Amino acid sequence: MRKKLIAANWKMHKTPEQAQSFVSALLPHLWEHTRDEIVLCPPFLAIPAVIEATKDSPIGVGGQDMFWEKEGAYTGAISAPMLRAVGCSHVIIGHSERRQYFGETDDTVNRKLRAALAAGLKPIVCVGEVLAEREAGVTEDVLRRQCSIAFREISGGEAIPMVVAYEPVWAIGTGKTATPELAAEAHRTIRAVAAEAFGEGVATQLRILYGGSVKPDNATLLMSQQEIDGALVGGASLDAKSFAAIVKW
Ligand code: PEP
């Protein structure tokens, strides 16, 4: 039985004050919610405020990105040990916006993933096809390539804390969602690659989230699918009520 994980990706939204107000508005909805694991991923500058505001709650906090080196002359970068030092438990790696706007590649995703696991963070690794790839019928090849490169040089034991998010790029921020059948098919491909890389036991336990325009009104349909182990939520995670409604799908 895989516990579902619902993660909020705030992207470049919210100051520390706004983040704190969000948590104050969210907590009353979720005090007794133990069915799912909940993680908030604010922008770096708001992380300490969210850690402080969630400190007596079961809500985890994660970064939206990190660099693979521990420290050094890497202007503008934040490392995995730095995220750990302020109290982060998770980190998003390889989000399609990082791939599209910041030059992230399958290889840099692998380097970041290995560094995150080595630092004791739980990485949420994002994969997914763009519209042209879906239309060309190569979704399975794309997912196989993204996952097999991301999983390189990681042992089954090391992979245990990892989570994968299947995010079809054409569904992110567009209001379009994959049907449960399309998502389940993609999740089966990802799990098959994980089984080849890490063995059946680890692959069976691997949580694979769905991301792409998850909203309160489609959360129940998506989250009740056996193959979908939770959600990575962008736009609808910015409002406490709407995020709480998704968590309580
Ligand atoms: C995301 O950015 O990970 C995402 C899924 O965004 P949205 O929910 O807005 O589509």
Contact in structure between 218 and 171 (CB atoms under 8 Å) = no
Q: Is 177 in the pocket of ligand 1 (CB under 6 A)?
A: no
Q: How confident is the model at residue 3 (pLDDT cuts 50, 70, 90)?
A: very high
Tell me what percent of the residues of the chain surpass a pLDDT of 70. 100
- The 3-state DSSP class for residue 92 equals strand
Contact in structure between 244 and 39 (CB atoms under 8 Å) = no
What's the gap in Å between 26 CA and the centre of ligand 1?
19
The C-alpha atoms of residue 144 and residue 190 are separated, in whole angstroms, by: 7
- Nearest-atom number in ligand 1 for the CA of 171 is 10
Helices within 35-121 (DSSP H only): 47-53, 80-85, 96-101, 106-118
Topology annotation, domain 5-247 = TIM Barrel (3.20.20)
pLDDT at 200: 98
- Contacts of residue 21, defined as CB under 8 A and 6 or more positions apart, other chains included, come to none
0.85 exceeded by pTM = yes
Average pLDDT rounded to a whole number, residues 184-204 = 97
HSE-CB of 221 using CA atoms within 13 angstroms: 12
Contact in structure between 61 and 51 (CB atoms under 8 Å) = yes
Average pLDDT rounded to a whole number, residues 181-204 = 97
| Domain definitions of the chain by residue range | 5-247
Contact in structure between 86 and 56 (CB atoms under 8 Å) = no
Contact in structure between 173 and 234 (CB atoms under 8 Å) = yes
The C-alpha atoms of residue 90 and residue 113 are separated, in whole angstroms, by: 11
- Hey, whose CA ends up nearest to atom 7 of ligand 1? 234
Residues 99-110: tens digit of each pLDDT:
999 999 999 999
Residues 88-134: tens digit of each pLDDT:
999 999 999 999 999 999 999 999 999 999 999 999 999 999 999 99
Q: Which residues of 44-76 are buried (b: 16+ CB within 10 A; e: fewer)?
A: eebbebbbebbeeeebbbbbbbbbbeeeeeeee
Residues 54-70: tens digit of each pLDDT:
998 999 999 999 999 99
Q: How confident is the model at residue 1 (pLDDT cuts 50, 70, 90)?
A: confident
CB atoms within 10 A of CB 136: 12
Tokens read off for 89? 């438990």
Q: Is 235 in the pocket of ligand 1 (CB under 6 A)?
A: yes
Q: Is 178 in the pocket of ligand 1 (CB under 6 A)?
A: no
Judged against a pLDDT cut of 90, whether residue 31 lies above it is answered with: no
Q: Which of 144-148, 222-226, 235-239 has the lowest mean pLDDT?
A: 222-226
Calculate the average pLDDT of the chain. 97
The C-alpha atoms of residue 166 and residue 81 are separated, in whole angstroms, by: 26
